[in-house]
Amino acid sequence: MSTGGHNRATMAGRLSVLVGALSVPAFVGVWELIARSRIVNAVLFPPPSTVAVAVLDWIHSGQFFGDLSASLFRVTVGFLIGTTGGIMLGVLTGRFRLLSSLLSPLFHILRPIPPIAFVPIVILWFGLSEAGKLFLVVWGVFFTVWLATHIGVQKVDRGLIRAALMLGTPRRQMLSEIILLGALPYIVVGLRTAVSISFYTLVAAELAGAFAGIVYRIEIAQQNMQTGQVMGGLAALGLLSFVADRSFAAIAERAVWWR
């Protein structure tokens, strides 16, 4: 009896793995069938095979790597600047009440404005330069990381701080070790949210006008009615942010190393 139940459980497990493995291929297959069935306009809704050809062309033309590195540069540098600033100010506002009274109300007013809404003013300020694109990503990332750090710092166990005080921990070490590491579990959650935000803001930044980049390529392809290229660009963007999120999750697990 029990072996029968066990077998049934493993069968169910294998079945769900199999279905999981078939999920994407099945979707692509159905898409191919529908696009080729002439129910829909294949120019507007190209089959995956056409998309694949467009992507290969994109890679062969040499533009793909230029676009990829332009987008990666904006996301990475923007993310690094925004999160560094967010963490530093979060530690300070979380720890020093006066500074918090000075900055928190301002940050709470600015935080809910979607970064995309800043595109027009960013174009006025920075034109179509790289600085403007970085500004948008930095802006998008900063507030999330600031808030996560600020809350994390306030949640640091007061007992830890007292213990550190009793041991003669200097002020600087108190901030850079006890407070920062005490808040790290919260900060890491903020950073992970920031990874996806940096991709959202990248889209806004490149749609606002650029000379290279994955989203820029999507927009150009749209203007030329290259729907295969548009969809290939979307797929590349999806894959890129998926990889970024997963690798960040792996890093985050190790960042809080004592758990």
Does residue 92 interact with other proteins by CB under 8 A? no
Give Cα 133 to chain centroid, integer Å.
Answer: 15
**Nearer to other proteins by C-beta: 99 or 165?**
165
**Nearer to other proteins by C-beta: 182 or 190?**
182
Does residue 164 interact with other proteins by CB under 8 A? yes
Candidate segments 20-28, 140-148, 161-169, 198-206, binder of other proteins by CB under 8 A = 161-169
Candidate segments 25-33, 66-74, 131-139, 153-161, binder of other proteins by CB under 8 A = 153-161
> Of 193, 199, 192, 188, which is closest to residue 239 (Cα–Cα)?
199
Does residue 181 interact with other proteins by CB under 8 A? yes
The residue with tokens 């099945």 is 26
Candidate segments 42-50, 97-105, 108-116, 167-175, binder of other proteins by CB under 8 A = 167-175
**DSSP string covering 77-109:** HHHHHHHHHHHHHHHHHHH-HHHHHHHHHHHHH
Which class for 204: exposed (0-12), middle (13-18), buried (19 or more C-beta within 10 A)? buried
**Nearer to other proteins by C-beta: 6 or 162?**
162
Q: How many residues bind other proteins (CB under 8 A)?
A: 19
Torsions phi, psi of 96, nearest 5? Answer: -110, 115
Choose, by CB under 8 A, the member of 49, 104, 154, 169 that binds other proteins: 169
Q: Minimum Å distance from CB 96 to other proteins?
A: 18
> Of 75, 69, 56, 62, which is closest to residue 232 (Cα–Cα)?
56
Choose, by CB under 8 A, the member of 170, 224, 246, 250 that binds other proteins: 170
Does residue 178 interact with other proteins by CB under 8 A? yes
**Nearer to other proteins by C-beta: 38 or 257?**
257
From CA 208, how far away is CA 225, in angstroms rounded?
Answer: 19
Choose, by CB under 8 A, the member of 2, 98, 223, 258 that binds other proteins: 258
Choose, by CB under 8 A, the member of 60, 62, 167, 223 that binds other proteins: 167
Residues 6+ apart with CB under 8 A from 255: 184, 188
Strand, helix or coil at 178?
helix
From CA 25, how far away is CA 48, in angstroms rounded?
Answer: 11
| Residue 98 burial (CB count, 10 A) | 8
**Nearer to other proteins by C-beta: 19 or 160?**
160
> Of 12, 28, 156, 136, which is closest to residue 74 (Cα–Cα)?
136
Choose, by CB under 8 A, the member of 163, 225, 250, 251 that binds other proteins: 163
**Nearer to other proteins by C-beta: 87 or 214?**
87
Does residue 173 interact with other proteins by CB under 8 A? yes
Eight-state DSSP code of residue 156 = S
User: Which spans of this chain sit near other proteins (rule: CB under 8 A)?
Assistant: 157, 159-160, 162-170, 173, 178, 181, 184, 257-259
